[in-house]
Amino acid sequence: MDHGSAAPPAAGASAAAAAFNDADVMFAQMMVPHHRAAVEMAGLAATRASDAEVKSLAAGIKAAQQPEIDTMTGWLGAWGQPAPMPGMSVPAMSHGAMPGAMSDADMRTLTAARGAAFDKQFLTMMIAHHEGAVTMAQDEIKSGSNTDAQALAQRIVTDQQAEIATMKTILDRL
């Protein structure tokens, strides 16, 4: 189903922002809470990580993903679609749980960890989380129609695959 004429573009929005389909909406609605979880995980590193490279990587993840959350939330508003609110549960996916999602128990374990134990847990969880984001972004590239959303999805694939490689290298070193 194409929503290309469902909502006019927001003031100053590009013409491409007006053209979207269900895959674009699903991508933004799923990636916003997925990114929020990554930002939450990354925020823990400032006071819990002992490895300087882990702290730096986490700060970079937080700095990159918050603007992407803001961008996707803006798209959803321009498209007349609901944006997930902070703390909202993730919309159900037809094929199961959101890829790379961390359970409440995982987050409690990470929150309780300190030092080298935190570093290893953080990297292991963030690798899985990033792999999930890459899968979701690849779905958008394959099925979406909004050029801006597809460009962001491609950036997510490129950036997060590079971060996965870096995290694996750090994890091997620890």
pLDDT tens for each residue of 50-93:
999 999 999 999 999 999 999 999 999 999 999 988 765 444 43
Q: Kindly report whether the global pTM for this prediction surpasses the value 0.75.
A: yes
Contact 141, 19 (CB under 8 A): no
> Is residue 168 domain-resident?
yes
Q: From CA 161, how far away is CA 64, in angstroms rounded?
A: 14
What residues pair up with 21 in beta bridges, in sequence order?
A: 2
**Structural domain that includes position 156:** 18-81+103-173
Cα-to-chain-centroid distance, residue 77: 18
> Is residue 98 domain-resident?
no
> Is residue 4 domain-resident?
no
Q: Where are the beta strands (DSSP E) in the chain?
A: none
Q: Where are the beta strands (DSSP E) in 24-161?
A: none
Indicate the number of domains in the chain: 1
> Is residue 50 domain-resident?
yes
Q: How is residue 53 written in tokens?
A: 């490279």
For position 94, what pLDDT does the model report? 39
Across the chain, what does the average pLDDT equal? Answer: 86
Q: From CA 38, how far away is CA 42, in angstroms rounded?
A: 6
pLDDT tens for each residue of 1-19:
334 433 333 434 454 456 9
> Is residue 63 domain-resident?
yes
Q: How is residue 3 written in tokens?
A: 């929503």
Contact 58, 91 (CB under 8 A): no
For the chain, give percent helix, strand, coil, nearest 5.
70, 0, 25
Residue 38 maps to which CATH number? 1.20.1260.10
CB-based contacts of 110, cutoff 8 Å, min separation 6: 41, 44, 102, 118, 121, 122, 125
**Helices (H), ranges, 113-146:** 115-143
> Is residue 7 domain-resident?
no
Lowest mean pLDDT: which of 18-22, 37-41, 92-96? 92-96
> Is residue 2 domain-resident?
no
